[in-house]
Structure 1
């Protein structure tokens, strides 16, 4: 996480530094990108960089965390609009997320992440934040719409629902690396199929 001095900066300067990092990491892998390139684009002295961040890994992790938090906020807004309906929320959120990764403003950044396999670093950095995300969902989900008895059941369901999404994102990044054309609609439909199985169950009603 950034140091306190970074958070004491005006929001405009914080954004300028993070946007500079984004532009550099859009062009190069994590290993090849340099702090010198970031500070030159951000127009800050090298000494100031180390007043704000420990190192390159620190600013990279925070840059990606901000994207995770933005996605979390978007999910929460949809969940509230859907009156706590978890499955309806996932059906609206996932197409937006996949489009953002493959076609949105950050698509070039995710392209670099894919071709250089930097998603492994991203996964390590975000595991703890995923747990925070799950805990925040507990108070927003309408449990009356679900066949669950306690928070443990809800936690199990949330993990199960987002596992196929993680697989979808991982496979999408691998396909980008391989230079394959991404069919977003096909990805969405595949996730919807997995979601339908979780929502309605795997066993046939009245089956043996």
Structure 2
């Protein structure tokens, strides 16, 4: 994470550095990204960079944290707007987050994160019991805001299992989207959203034929 000196920078200089970092990580995968390019575009000396961040991993994960905070906010807003209805909130959240990732101003950065995701970046994005407490914000938000009367699950453990299944749908769908793009196939944002909506519907209502349907 940034050193205290980073937050003491003038806003214009801080934003210039972050913009340069986004541009570099959007241009190439993390492994080949260069601090030299970042400091050149930001117009700062190399020594100054190391006063703000330990290395390129440090600034890369700072950018990912900005995404985490943004998506956490989107999710909490959706839950509150739908009065704790988990599935209605997830549907809204999936669509809003997809808009940010696929068509937002930093779309190329997110594309590189997902196309060339390594273990570090993968664990930063996906929900896991192995993550430190601050990585569990979405789950904590879920547990505190959902209307459990709308679910057949009740315990925190069961809600956590359901939540992780829902987040798997989101992550798997994004992976599918970027994999197809990488292979030169065409897939639209609308198709991605339709895929997520279908899988979320299956999670909510099941994919099997109900007995009563067989007798219709």
TM, length-normalised to structure 1? 0.87
1:84 is aligned to 84
The answer to whether the 8 Å contact 1:78/1:93 transfers is: yes
Q: CA deviation at 1:10?
A: 4.3
Q: CA deviation at 1:147?
A: 1.6
From the superposition, tell whether residues 204 and 131 of structure 1 become closer, same or farther in structure 2 (CA, over 3 Å): same
Off by >4 Å, runs of 4+ in structure 1: 202-207
Q: CA deviation at 1:108?
A: 1.9
**Which of the residues 171, 176, 184 maps onto 1:171?**
176
Mapped partners of 1:126, 1:165: distance in 2: 11
1:193 is aligned to 198
Mapped partners of 1:193, 1:14: distance in 2: 41
Give runs of aligned pairs for residues 156-167 of structure 1, distance below 5 A: 156-167=161-172
Report the count of equivalent residues.
Answer: 207
The alignment yields a C-alpha RMSD, in angstroms, of 2.3
2:3 is aligned to 3
The answer to whether the 8 Å contact 1:65/1:126 transfers is: no
Mapped partners of 2:83, 2:106: distance in 1: 29
What's the CA shift string for 1:142-188, capped at 9, x where partnerless?
Answer: 22221222111111110111111111011112122222212222222
The answer to whether the 8 Å contact 1:110/1:173 transfers is: no
Q: Does 1:60 align with 2:60?
A: yes
1:122 is aligned to 121
Q: CA deviation at 1:40?
A: 1.8
Mapped partners of 1:151, 1:114: distance in 2: 30
Alignment gaps of 5+ in structure 2: none
Alignment gaps of 5+ in structure 1: none
Q: Does 1:48 align with 2:44?
A: no
What's the CA shift string for 1:5-31, capped at 9, x where partnerless?
Answer: 223334444332211100111222222
The answer to whether the 8 Å contact 2:74/2:96 transfers is: no
